[in-house]
Structure 1
Amino acid sequence: MDIKSLKKTSSSHKAKLTIFKTYIDSLLPSKRVNEVQAFELKARLDKILDLYNEFDSVQTDLESLVEISDDEHKEREIFENSYFGCVAFAQKMLSAASADQDAGSVTGSNINTGPSELQIRNKWRTNRGQPQPGEMVLIKDDRLPPNRWLLGRVTTVYPGADGVNRVADVKTTSGTLRRAWNRLCPLPVMFDQKDASAPRGPVC
């Protein structure tokens, strides 16, 4: 796509994030969500979790096409700050709703489903497979075959509100890139036989 088309697509992604942020802001005064709100928040969050990768792909193309990329880097920074802040707040509210539901079931409530089952994507709820500094990874690029993906080393990780690392800075020959963990493929490493059943990283 040309720069004009990329900017139009990028603006669409920003608009989706703005809508999600407006919804999050509407929940701020209560600091708690009821059962119906929890289901809606979970549904919205599931949709928005895919938005970062879509924005990242378009923004990367833009940054590679413009002569001076400072403005595009600033746009990325603004988007990421808003995105991760909203996602962290949504996860915190869902976690609180789940805790409230669990407490209700202990005291004899007959409601045993709903927010208590609102896990935020099982792949993020354990420490297995988190990126670690020093780890060698391939950076996924949907535009290229896997044998042409960039190779890099994780230098910094960014945990979410629950302490699980979801984003990492990767040092490559083209510079340091920030990517979501599901866009990275850890290279195979040797591990003890007792750990053979615990593969690391997302499936490429």
Structure 2
Amino acid sequence: MTAEHTAPARRGLVTVLAAGAFAGWFWASVAAAHPSEMFNRVRRLDRNGIFLPNWRFFAPHPACFDYGLIYRVEEHDGTVSPWRFVMEPVHRTWAHTVWFPTRRRSKALFDVAAELLVVGRKLAERGTVTAEVVEAHPAYTVLRDFTGAVVRERQHGDAPPAGFQFALIEHAGYDELQEEPTYVLISSFVPLTERAG
């Protein structure tokens, strides 16, 4: 066999081997990312995570709910309004796959809420959770001050109410089942005669 015949054969063999290696890597990556414990032995082939990407790093336990921040105001005559969303849930459209800047606000709320709940759980495990300790946490202060700013903004120049109360809820978002929200945290009454904070 001449050299001009062996070169295409070698290229064909290299192509087949490269395609086989890529296919093997691809399916090993898919198996390693599977949530079942059965596939963890594939992950053991690459303990340092150099060759098999670990997409579970970003969301090892994906959230199945949204956090919502709601509030109600108390007028000076003692009447209390119904609960309202601080940020109304945004109905998703196809355009949001390309441009969705308001998603940052709900992501920030999710992160602040998660921080506050982690701290609350740790305090509860130690038996030291009190309203004063929770209300002194920076995450609580962020939620309180943000809600207070929204309450003032929605007054449109009218005199502010006597105060407000806010609550952090877990809700199903746009899930068709529309489960009842779970109240995770309900604040004490926040007077508005002075700026909150």
TM-score, normalised by the number of residues in structure 1:
0.25
Name the larger-Rg structure: 2
